[in-house]
Structure 1
Amino acid sequence: MTLVQFREYRDYAQNRQEANNAIMALLAGSQLANHVLHLTHGSEMQLSQIFPAVPHIKRFNLRTDRAQQFLGEAEEHLCAMAVPYILAIHEDLLMTTLKMLARDGHMTMRRADDAKSHNMHSTFESVTGHTLPAASVKQFHLLRFMRNCLIHAAGTANQALVGHIASLDAPTIQGWETLTGHPLMGSVTVGRKVSFKQGDLIASLAVTKRIAEECNSALVGKISRQTWADYVLREFQADGGNSQANDRLRKVKGIARFYYRALQLTEQELQDAIARA
């Protein structure tokens, strides 16, 4: 799939990558710290006495055995914080695409602004006529319901989550279990604790990436070529855009070739964008 690397999409990809790197560093770091503490097994000293040069160590000033217990349980808590973060990055991109569609005249800006996480994908499909991968959207909503339980139900399953799980078809469940490496919570009942594992984090990254790429592909054919050409010029202007007239077209063509290659914008289309500006 060839993607249009417009500026907001590049920002999204960068934010995803930075979040992924930070989250994986924390997950690996907690296990690395746990491993290192094995070397101090049996010590009665506090961590601040053993590692006085470590910043903030006094906020985690425990004996080795107690510290290892916390570190061993850290994965679930880290994933519970990370999954909402990944979903938020994805939601921001979807809202951006809806506003792009509104600016191109396919919907009102008010409708774009009114979209929320529960209906943003269906709104996108309605406006573009492009069907997003159904299993991925259902898996996104599974993660969303899990997140909502964490934030609004003290981390316990509510009826919305239980009902959504019950509604999932076999391919969606199979895809989820392939991504996460563990069975779907089919036995979840209202009031039972919702736990987040590393597999859920992997699923959130994979599911949102697939949906984002499908949205990008749909925009290629829906957004007018005139508007795409204007976006190219906007990037040129945002990066300075003060070239002499005889050099301006060359630089605009370079941006189009490097970031907007999938569109194959013509020189005339880019010249027209310059003239409109």
Structure 2
Amino acid sequence: MNLYDLPPVAAVLDAAHALLMHLATVLTPFAGASSAAAAIVLVTLLVRAALIPVGISQAKAERTRARLAPRLAELRRRHAKDPDRLQRETMALYADEGASPFAGCLPMLIQAPIVGVIYALFVLPTIAGHPNALLEQTLLGVPLGSSLAGSIASGTLTPGALLVFGTLIGAIALVGELTRRAFRPQPTPQDGPAARPGEGASGTDAAAAVLGSAAMLRVVGLLQFVTAVIAAFVPLAAALYLLVTVTWTLGQRLVLRRVYPLPPALPALPA
């Protein structure tokens, strides 16, 4: 059974299709042939504005994680060989602080169905039994339902389309790099440089901790560019949504970091 044929899903897609087409009509005097793309930008901005309270919650969760980082690192060191105990102790630590380790995941969970709807709107030839008029819409002459990877595979990629895709994906990568630089954490050994002989990790273990932390930071840095890779495979409309989203997210995080600066870390747990 096709998921998109289920009545609730078809109803949501039909309503989203009607909304975008109506907005495109309203925006035509201002955006011309790219009115549907402008409608996507407008909808994205409205969605992100509605999620501002969630962003505030995420900023507060980031403060909590920064404050608890030494204690979480100590728990990982103590219970490295007992995952169940580590999970219980971690949850207990968050409970004592009145926080949740999952508080920062809500924005991604909320946006996932929105991206899914936009993706479906620009790949399905029919929606709720009627032709999908959105597939006829363009951005600077490039169909919103086309993708860079699909155009290359089909041999239909034109210089104009390459310029549009390249600009969009390059902008997403640039925002990813700016985000990486603005919020780059610093690697620290779990036991600190002042550990006395016989306490905590050995010098070799501490060095390994630093190297492991540095490797983890490199992975986190690369994750900032995953969105740019995804944008090469999804329809142009979804890539446009992603660009507006990552740009808004960067600006919002910069503002919230000033409003909710990271506090000093708590001391490590007593032995």
Do they superpose with TM above 0.5?
no
TM superposition score normalised by structure 2: 0.30
